[in-house]
Structures are given as C-alpha cells and as structure tokens.
Amino acid sequence: MSILFDTGPPLQPEEFRLLRELINRFCGMTFSDDAQYVFERRLRDRVRELGLDDYTQYYHHLLYHPNAKAEMEAAVDALVTNETYFFREDYQLRAFRYEVLPELRERLEGEGRRSLTLWSAGCSTGEEVYTLAILVQDSKLFEGWDVRIFGNDISRRVLAVARRATYGSSSFRAMPPEYEQYFVETPDGRQVVPHIRGMCHFGHLNLLDRDRSALIGRADAVFCRNVLIYFDERARSRVIDTFYERLYPGGYLFLGHSESLLNSTTAFELVHLSTDMVYRRPRTKISFGGKGERT
C-alpha cells in the first residue's frame, strides 16, 4: 500500500464517527477525533481486501454481514498497536514477586488451597503472561501447586503469536539477564521453554463480554496494564466490575502506572507496597438487607 500517494477511498467524517461508535460498542475502545486519519489508513486494507468501494459499504458489512463479528475483530486488530515486551514496568513486577506472591502463598496455604490462578487481561502477544509464569516459577513458592496463568485478547492474530511463544529482540528490551534461562534460541527467535509454556493458557475473549469471562474461573490476581486507557468510562466500569467478580476476595488487581480506579469504582481497596500501589478486592463480604458474611 502506498504511504504517500494512496488512491483508496477517503474516509468521510460521518463514516469515521459511525465506525468509531460501532467499534466502541463492540469492545469499549475509544478513539479521539484526530484518529480519523489512523482509521482511514489502517482500515483501507480491509476495505480493499473485501472488494468494497468505500467506508460506508464497510460500515454496512460490519452491520449486516453474517461474519461481521470476525470482521469487527479484524478491524480492531488493524487499529490497535499491540506492542509489548517482557518484564514491562519492572517496579510493579518486583512488588508482585517479593510482596504479593509470598502473601498469596501464605494465605492460600492457610485456606487449604494449593492452586494459583493469574489472569493477564488484554495480553496482546503474550509477553506478560510468560513474564508472570517465569516470576512464579522463579520464586519457588508454588512448587507442586496447580499454577495457571491465563491470557486473553480480542485479536486472534496476537493470540497466535502468543501461542507460538517465539519472540524477536524488541520483546526483550527490559528483561533482566537472570531470566535468560527460561528461553531457548530458535531460527525464528527466542522461544519460551516448554515448562513455562505449560503453565500458560490463552483465550479469545472480549473484555466487555462478562458472561464469557466466567470461562476463566476465579483469579488470585488480575493484570490489566495499559489496556483500560483505550476504554471509555462506561466500558471501563464494566470491565472493572468483571475483574471484581472474577477475583477471589483478597485478590489483587494490577493496572498500568498511569491508570487509576479513583473515578471508576470504590469497590477495591488500595494496598501500599514498597515499590508500588495495587488494588485489592476486600475480603469482607456483606449483603445489606441480608446476612453479613466474612471470609
């Protein structure tokens, strides 16, 4: 596709707004007014691929075609940059490794539960999922436990990359050298070793789909970093409600450094760790008008 002289159909402001709203309803993502050019460039290939004349026809395709959902996913995939890397925001991961994991281990053992479930929500190409698995493994706190790390994304393309578990150099830009042992060299890049891969599961899930999120079961910690920034307030609230529902009481929620629940919900309590602050689902369970219960 030409960058400088593309002769594809222009995206009209009204078409942009319709497409933007449709995508927002589908996955909660929000785009600013100046994203019109991004929409035009990144969806042009989809319009061409489907043999359509303009973006109105593409909008109709997304509204009426029996495979509209798959095309909507393709559109989101084209619009979103999925770049991530291993050990991103390491100060938070240190807090998770040295403060949260020991607390979870002690508490879960006390409850007689020898299973640990982590959820990387919006996992993109999977680096965060494998990072979490490596941290759990490296901590040696959960040997002999049933450990599962689940990653989900709305894009099938990035999930295919995640399952392949083979990465180029840019994915390793922040990885401390002591974790090299969890990778092997292959002709296509460095691949995550099998025993770490075995702890990880990937699924195709729209975070707005509350019913399907039940497939994950309950989690001890949810990582949703640098994902909610793309959502509008309404979608953010829905997703956070889902996290609350899916977390065990006492379970942790990790957000990106620029993200906060301050204006979205009061249901989580703030926990001050030595290098970070995280959210936690309170352990008190009370129902007004009924019986109170403590866990």
Partner 1 sequence: MDSEDPEERRRATAALASAGATDRSALLIRALGDVDWRVRKEGARIAATVAEEWGLLPELVDGICQGENVGLRNSALEVLERLGPRAANALLVALPRVPEAARKFVVAALGFAGGAGVEKLAELSRDPEPNTAQAAIEALARVGGERAEEALRGHLAAEDPVQRLAALEGLERLQAQVSLEALTPLLQDRLVRRLALRVLGYSEEPGAADALLDALEDGGAAALEATVALGRLLSRGGPVAREMARRAKQLGEPVRKQLRGVSQSGRDEARRAATWVLLLARDEESLGAAAELAADDRLPPIALDVIRRWGGPAIGPLVQAAPGLPPRARAVALQMASDLAARAEPAPDVLKALRVALRDTLQSGDGIAVGAAAEALGRWAEAEDAPALVAAARAFPEHVARAAGRALERLAASAPDAVEAQLGSLPLDGPLGAALLPAVAALGGQSATDLLQATLNADDPRARRAAVMALPKLGGERAVELAGFALADEDVDVQVAAVMVLGQLSRGGELGVAQLRLALRASFEPVVAAAARALGQIGDRASLATLRELVKEGRPGVAVAAMEALRLMEDPALDDLLVEALGQDDEELVKEALRAIAQSDTPRREARIGLALEHSAWDVRQLAASLLGQLGTDDARAALSRRREREADRGVRESIDTALDADLDGEEG
Q: Cβ closer to partner 1: 97 or 280? A: 280
CB-based contact 145:114 (threshold 8 Å): yes
User: Among residues 15 and 134, whose Cβ is nearest to partner 1?
Assistant: 15
Considering beta carbons, is residue 61 or 88 the nearer one to partner 1?
A: 61
Which CA distances in Å does 189 have to 136, 164, 166, 185? Answer: 24, 11, 6, 6
Pick one of 25, 49, 69, 186: the residue that binds partner 1 (CB under 8 A). 49
Looking at beta carbons only, is 132 or 175 nearer to partner 1? 175
Q: Does 2 bind partner 1 (CB under 8 A)?
A: yes
Residues 6+ apart with CB under 8 A from 63: 22
As measured in angstroms, the least distance from the Cβ of 93 to partner 1 is: 24
270 binds partner 1 (CB under 8 A): yes
Q: Give, as ranges, the residues between 80 and 139 that touch partner 1 (CB under 8 A).
A: 81
The least distance separating partner 1 from the CB of residue 292, rounded to whole angstroms, comes to 8
Stretch that binds partner 1, among 56-64, 84-92, 194-202, 226-234 (CB under 8 A): 56-64
- CA 247: distance to chain centroid? 15
Binding mask of the shown chain, residues 189 to 208, with x at each position contacting partner 1 by CB under 8 A: x-------------------
- The pairing of strands 166-167 and 189-192 is antiparallel
Q: Is 18 in the site for partner 1 (CB under 8 A)?
A: yes
Interface with partner 1 (CB under 8 A), residue from 178, 185, 288, 291: 288
Q: Which position among 7, 64, 177, 293 is part of the footprint of partner 1 (CB under 8 A)?
A: 64
Among 262, 272, 274, 293, binds partner 1 (CB under 8 A): 262
Judged by beta carbon, residue 10 or residue 198, the one nearer partner 1 is 10
The mark string for 171-190 relative to partner 1 (x by CB under 8 A, - otherwise) is -----------------xx-
Tell me whether residue 75 or residue 216 sits nearer to partner 1 (CB atom). 75
Among 25, 65, 69, 234, binds partner 1 (CB under 8 A): 65
Mapping DSSP onto H, E and C, the string for the chain reads CCCCCCCCCCCCHHHHHHHHHHHHHHHCECCCHHHHHHHHHHHHHHHHHCCCCCHHHHHHHHHHCCCHHHHHHHHHHHHCCCCCCCCCCHHHHHHHHHHHHHHHHHHHHHCCCCEEEEEEECCCCCHHHHHHHHHHHHHCCCCCCEEEEEEEECCHHHHHHHHHCEECHHHHCCCCHHHHHHEEEECCEEEECHHHHCCEEEEECCCCCHHHHHHHCCEEEEEECCCHHHECHHHHHHHHHHHHHHEEEEEEEEECCCCCCCCCCCCCEEEECCCCEEEECCCEEECCCCCEEEC
Enumerate binding residues for partner 1 (CB under 8 A). 1-5, 13-14, 17-18, 37-38, 41-42, 45, 49, 51, 60-61, 63-67, 81, 157, 168, 170, 188-189, 262, 266, 269-270, 282, 284, 286, 288-289
